[in-house]
Amino acid sequence: MCLAIPCKVIEIYEENGEKYAIAEYKGVKQKAKLTLLENVNIGDYVLIHTGYALEVMNEEDAKLSLETWEELFEALDKMDNEKDSNK
C-alpha cells in the first residue's frame, strides 16, 4: 500500500535531460522526477512515491488532505502520550 502526503513544488529544474521538482512538506524537501506528469508548475501540489511525482492535486484538495493528515498525526501523538502515562 502506498501513502503519500501532498507536497508543494518549490523548484523545477532539468538535469541530464530530465525534469525534476523539489517539493516540500513541513520543511522537509524531496526531489522527484517529473517524467510521469506534464505541466507541473512551481506552487502546485504533487503526490510523490519512490522518487516520482505521480499526481498533481488542486490546492483545495491538497489542503483538505493535509488537514486530514494533521488530525491523524495529532490523534497518534495523543494515543502515544496516553500510553506513556499509563506505564
Give residue-wise pLDDT tens across range 39-77.
999 999 999 998 999 999 999 999 998 899 889 888 988
Q: Contact at 8 Å (CB) between 48 and 34?
A: no
Count of domains for the chain? 1
Q: Which domain holds residue 74?
A: 7-85
Q: Contact at 8 Å (CB) between 48 and 83?
A: no
Q: Which residue type is seen at 51?
A: G
Residue 55 C-alpha cell reads as: 499526481
* CATH code of the domain containing 38: 2.30.30.140
Please enumerate in sequence order all residues whose Cβ is within 8 A of that of 14, keeping only pairs 6 or more positions apart, or say none. Answer: 20
User: Any idea what DSSP says for residue 12?
Assistant: E
2 assigned to some structural domain: no
Q: pTM for the complete prediction? A: 0.79
